[in-house]
A and B are shown apart, each in its own frame.
Chain A
Amino acid sequence: MLSIHVSKSRTKMNDTLLNVENLNIFFKSDKNPEPIHAVRDLSFSLKQGEMLGVVGESGSGKSITNLALMGILGDSAIIKAQECTFNNKNLLNLSEKEWQKVRGGEISMIFQDPMTALNPFLTVEFQLVETILAHIDCSKKEARERAIDLLSQVGITSPADRLKAYPFELSGGMAQRVMIAMAISTSPKLLIADEPTTALDVTIQKQILMLIKSLQIKNNMSVILVTHDLGVVSEFSERVQVMYAGEIVETAETKKLITYPHHPYTYGLLSSRPGAIETKPKSELPSIPGIVPAFHHRPAGCQFNPRCTNAQNDCLNQTIIIENGLRCLHPMAEK
């Protein structure tokens, strides 16, 4: 049915697709002479075909990391890393031309609010076809056919009619499906989904996540699923990393992390979900007191110490390093 052949190097499941070592992101600002240190010593890797869940409250640096991986963080950002390789390419010294090939071609991204992420002045067809034409060598007609095929792949009925629609004529769930179709239109190796369901109705959320999951498996695509909801991650991703104030605080296989959260923050996130841990009936749902510290008011020592139930004196002044996927001196005891 589809006449275009996209070269898909079938990498094995165990091959590392993305490897990030000690990524640091700073922001220059007019007000402070010192650049703001937004993301600190972030290291993680991602295998081909794997889904990694990234969890954290807003302000934890997860979206900034994603934008840095796409190279669209803007001029005020300074990005430093020991290593940042994607598909054997060093992302740190790509030219703008090379970046344009990677963005949308090899790494795609979908965003939180599909209604604002699609250009309201251009039709679905225009936005889809332009993406395909930018990355795949084919005619306009072939691109259009591919667009129709993609729309039916993401579960949109009568896709040919929908092509003519403007984004504001679509419902939120429909628009997110279009975004997904656009993101996978170039058969990327990596899909970054930045809170893809936060702006949607609860009933639609699961459908969208299932869709992403099925596309991941079908296309052997890697996915970074960013969310602030541990429950979402626990159902869909193979591995989870929990971020707090610009650092990874805990990372493990999903099942292990959900069953035995070690970091007090992870524990707090889990227990603030209804039904996640055993509580007395009708008791108040636990919550983590306080908020994520602002970028320029970071505490000394462990970043979580002002809100932590386990905090002791040694948490207050020394920099805590991540060991065996855990950045904590006084982890929760295993039950």
Chain B
Amino acid sequence: MKFFLKKFLDLIPTLLGISLICFFMIRLIPGDPVLNLVGERGVDPVRYLEMKKSLGLDLPIIQQFWYFLKNALHGNLGTSIVSNNSVWSEFIERFPATFELGMVGLILATLIGIPMGIYAAIKRNSFFDYFLMSVSLIGYSMPIFWWGLILILVFSVKLGLTPVSGRIDLVFDIPVFSGLYLIDTLQTSVLRAEGLTPFWSALKHLILPATALGTIPLAVIARMTRSSMLEVLGEDYIRTAKAKGMSKTRIVYIHALRNALVPIVTTLALLFGSIITGAILTETIFSWPGIGKWIVQSITSRDYPVIQGGVLIISFIIIMTNIFVDVIYYFLNPKMRN
């Protein structure tokens, strides 16, 4: 319990720092903050003063920061200049798309990467081992935005197997349940009306971007699993397990894998950040209506409240994930529990 409390207290300075960055971001942009916030359309002097007051810009800077924090804690992150919707509602609308994409990408990477890494470790120095290590190094060096385009080129343009953009064919009208189309298309009302067609459509739309997004994590996970596994397989207690007459399978899966998983879980946490980075690029390529595309668009349209709010939420999510991983780590490693 003390462990979690300490972790939680450690968060506060980081969160404050990020809020500070987001807060000053708008104020550091050259030009008048009010004008930056209302965009390039200009504003009449009366409205200007009103806005300045409502944004609290007439107050001392410390007080301004205080109001900013207070509003953020209440979920009030300002209003988009472009759409006039609140930043929070825009985020909530787009988050499930990114979540679905990221999760499927990460699951693909884990499900393929860990077994491949284990196999390479067992068959160390074999052809497969060298092959996997070379491929994963290439995957690791791949510019993801290019890889996405190549996937489109091969699977959509040349082979015509998958759609180029979007989350689902526009003919379907899916009632929102979870926001994740792979789940929402399986609702009974949808199944009754359209059968499995909407689900397949959603899956077809998802598979390329998820592959593009999952490639770098896949490479990282496979390499990490291999080296972690090799390290554990060289430990004394593996020799003990052999000497006890355990079968090879049991040694790998019961005695080695669990221990090897601990650093892999930590890697997964670090990968969450790279998933977000990847989402920004992947969503731009595949016109995926998630938060990555949202942020990039807001930069091109100089929608500062969206950038500010978006960055704040994303960093909050990432920090929370790191805490979550610490919790898993805690339960995986018996040493931590004492």
- A interface residues with partner B (beta carbon < 8 Å): 70, 72, 96, 99-105, 108-109, 111, 113, 116-122, 130-131, 134-135, 166, 168-169, 179, 182
Residues of B within 8 Å of A122, CB to CB, are: 254-255, 258
Is the CB–CB distance between A120 and B334 below 8 Å? yes
Is the CB–CB distance between A130 and B246 below 8 Å? yes
Q: Would you call B315 an interface residue if the criterion is a C-beta within 8 Å of the partner chain's C-beta atoms?
A: no
Is the CB–CB distance between A182 and B244 below 8 Å? yes
Is the CB–CB distance between B235 and A105 below 8 Å? no
Question: B46-90, CB under 8 A of A: which get 1 and which 0?
Answer: 000000000000000000000000000000000000000000000
Give the contacting residue for B243; candidates A101, A104, A113, A130; CB below 8 A.
A104
CA distance A72 to B241 in the complex (A): 10
Known: A166-B334, A166-B335, A169-B338. A120 touches B237 (CB 8 A): yes
Residues of A within 8 Å of B254, CB to CB, are: 122, 130
CA distance A245 to B254 in the complex (A): 37
CA distance A333 to B248 in the complex (A): 52
**Least distance between A20 CB and chain B CB atoms (Å):** 18
Q: Would you call B42 an interface residue if the criterion is a C-beta within 8 Å of the partner chain's C-beta atoms?
A: no
**Least distance between B251 CB and chain A CB atoms (Å):** 10
Is the CB–CB distance between A100 and B259 below 8 Å? no
Is the CB–CB distance between A104 and B244 below 8 Å? yes
CA distance A70 to B254 in the complex (A): 21
Question: B128-145, CB under 8 A of A: which get 1 and which 0?
Answer: 000000000000000000
Known: A116-B237, A118-B240, A168-B335. A103 touches B245 (CB 8 A): yes
Is the CB–CB distance between B259 and A121 below 8 Å? yes
Is the CB–CB distance between B242 and A119 below 8 Å? no
A-B contact pairs, 11 of them (CB 8 A): A72-B242, A101-B245, A103-B245, A104-B245, A104-B246, A111-B236, A111-B239, A119-B240, A121-B333, A122-B255, A134-B245
- B interface residues with partner A (beta carbon < 8 Å): 235-237, 239-248, 254-255, 258-259, 333-335, 338
Most chain-B CB neighbours within 10 Å: which of A116, A117, A166?
Answer: A117
Is the CB–CB distance between A105 and B335 below 8 Å? no
**Least distance between A109 CB and chain B CB atoms (Å):** 4
Is the CB–CB distance between A135 and B245 below 8 Å? yes
Residues of B within 8 Å of A109, CB to CB, are: 240, 243
Known: A118-B237, A119-B240, A120-B237. A100 touches B334 (CB 8 A): no
A-B interface contact total, Cβ < 8 Å: 73
Decide if the interface of chain B is mainly helix, strand, loop or mixed. helix
Residues of A within 8 Å of B247, CB to CB, are: 100
Is the CB–CB distance between B334 and A72 below 8 Å? no
Residues of B within 8 Å of A179, CB to CB, are: 240
Is the CB–CB distance between A100 and B245 below 8 Å? yes
CA distance A168 to B334 in the complex (A): 9
CA distance A256 to B39 in the complex (A): 100
Is the CB–CB distance between B243 and A120 below 8 Å? no
**Least distance between A268 CB and chain B CB atoms (Å):** 31
**Least distance between A46 CB and chain B CB atoms (Å):** 18
Residues of B within 8 Å of A135, CB to CB, are: 245
Known: A117-B237, A121-B333. A70 touches B243 (CB 8 A): yes
**Least distance between A40 CB and chain B CB atoms (Å):** 24
Q: Which residue of A lies closest to B255 (CB)?
A: A119
Is the CB–CB distance between A116 and B235 below 8 Å? yes
Closest CB pairs A-B (n = 4): A104-B245, A104-B244, A103-B245, A116-B236
Is the CB–CB distance between B237 and A119 below 8 Å? yes
Residues of A within 8 Å of B243, CB to CB, are: 70, 72, 103-104, 108-109, 111
Residues of A within 8 Å of B240, CB to CB, are: 109, 111, 117-119, 179
Residues of B within 8 Å of A168, CB to CB, are: 334-335, 338
Residues of B within 8 Å of A182, CB to CB, are: 244
**Least distance between A123 CB and chain B CB atoms (Å):** 8
Q: Which residue of B lies closest to A131 (CB)?
A: B244
Q: Which residue of B lies closest to A101 (CB)?
A: B245
Give the contacting residue for A134; candidates B246, B335, B338; CB below 8 A.
B246
Most chain-B CB neighbours within 10 Å: which of A117, A119, A131, A169?
Answer: A119
Known: A72-B239, A111-B239, A111-B240. A121 touches B334 (CB 8 A): yes
**Least distance between B236 CB and chain A CB atoms (Å):** 4
Residues of B within 8 Å of A96, CB to CB, are: 248
Beyond A100-B246, A113-B236, A119-B237, 9 extra complex contacts between A and B, CB < 8 Å: A70-B242, A72-B239, A101-B245, A103-B244, A116-B236, A119-B259, A120-B334, A121-B333, A182-B244
Residues of B within 8 Å of A113, CB to CB, are: 236
Residues of B within 8 Å of A103, CB to CB, are: 242-245
Residues of B within 8 Å of A108, CB to CB, are: 243-244
Residues of B within 8 Å of A104, CB to CB, are: 243-246
**Least distance between B17 CB and chain A CB atoms (Å):** 36
CA distance A100 to B255 in the complex (A): 16
**Least distance between B263 CB and chain A CB atoms (Å):** 13
CA distance A111 to B240 in the complex (A): 8
Give the contacting residue for A117; candidates B236, B246, B333, B335; CB below 8 A.
B236
Q: Which residue of A lies closest to B235 (CB)?
A: A116
Q: Which residue of A lies closest to B248 (CB)?
A: A96
Residues of B within 8 Å of A131, CB to CB, are: 244-245
CA distance A128 to B259 in the complex (A): 18
**Least distance between A136 CB and chain B CB atoms (Å):** 11
CA distance A191 to B235 in the complex (A): 21
Residues of A within 8 Å of B258, CB to CB, are: 121-122
CA distance A179 to B236 in the complex (A): 13
CA distance A320 to B59 in the complex (A): 97
Q: Which residue of A lies closest to B260 (CB)?
A: A121
**Least distance between A181 CB and chain B CB atoms (Å):** 12
Residues of A within 8 Å of B236, CB to CB, are: 111, 113, 116-117
Residues of A within 8 Å of B334, CB to CB, are: 120-121, 166, 168
Q: Which residue of A lies closest to B238 (CB)?
A: A119
